[in-house]
């Protein structure tokens, strides 16, 4: 047990302070922040892939690089959708029927959560169903996990602003 004796009184010190002082604690925090910054860059790349490849180019196979193999989505007012094939079909149907033109995602907060991270964000969706162009604002929460060295959406839930 870390600590020492002073005048017959046993002094116990927290292990992280005893084993290397506050400097190691600060280094660990800085290292965590660097890792989180790297994760945020990877997340931005995946979010951009969704916008450019999936929505703009209608490349629904690119969803394999966006979602984990066992991902789930929880769309508003609809049943949960599980697995890449079902998710691919969901997005193909929605993007084509809404005649979606863009989906710009913006992270508001990214929080470490166990083996993943949670992203809270907002999106602006440009759609033109039946030729009527409009923009929709939505808020979302995505639980991200790393799969095959890439950060991907594992659980995705969103709903429109009123």
- 16-28: b or e for each residue (b if 16 or more CB lie within 10 Å)? eeeeeeeeeeeee
Give a yes or no: residue 83 inside a domain. yes
Give a yes or no: residue 99 inside a domain. yes
* Residue 9 pLDDT level (bands cut at 50, 70, 90): very low
State pLDDT tens for residues 17-72.
Answer: 333 443 333 334 445 666 999 999 999 999 999 999 999 999 999 999 999 999 99
CA atoms within 13 A on the CB side of 66: 25
Number of domains in the chain: 1
Query: Which domain covers residue 76, as residue numbers?
Result: 20-160
Give a yes or no: residue 1 inside a domain. no
Give a yes or no: residue 96 inside a domain. yes
Give a yes or no: residue 6 inside a domain. no
CA atoms within 13 A on the CB side of 55: 20
User: How high is the pLDDT of residue 130?
Assistant: 86
Give a yes or no: residue 87 inside a domain. yes
Beta bridge partners of 127: 100, 134
Give a yes or no: residue 15 inside a domain. no
Say what the pTM is: 0.78
CB atoms within 10 A of CB 45: 12
Q: How far apart are CA 16 and CA 24, in angstroms?
A: 8
State pLDDT tens for residues 91-113.
Answer: 999 999 999 999 999 999 999 99
* CATH number (domain holding residue 74): 3.10.450.50
Give a yes or no: residue 107 inside a domain. yes
User: How high is the pLDDT of residue 20?
Assistant: 43
Note the Cα 66 to chain centre separation in Å: 10
């Amino acid at each position: 047990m870390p600590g020492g004796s002073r005048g017959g009184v046993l002094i116990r010190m927290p292990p992280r302070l005893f084993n290397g002082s506050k400097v190691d604690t600060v280094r660990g925090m800085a290292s965590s922040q660097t890792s989180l910054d790297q994760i945020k860059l990877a997340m931005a790349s995946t979010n951009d892939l969704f916008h450019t490849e999936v929505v703009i180019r209608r490349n629904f196979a690119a969803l394999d690089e966006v979602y984990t193999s066992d991902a789930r989505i929880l769309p508003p007012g609809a049943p949960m959708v599980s697995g890449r094939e079902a998710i691919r079909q969901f997005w193909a149907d929605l993007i084509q029927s809404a005649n979606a033109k863009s989906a710009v995602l913006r992270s508001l907060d990214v929080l470490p959560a166990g083996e993943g991270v949670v992203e809270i964000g907002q999106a602006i969706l440009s759609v033109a169903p039946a030729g009527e162009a409009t923009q929709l604002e939505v808020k979302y929460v995505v639980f991200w996990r790393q799969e095959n060295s890439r950060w991907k959406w594992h659980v995705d839930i969103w709903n429109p602003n009123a």
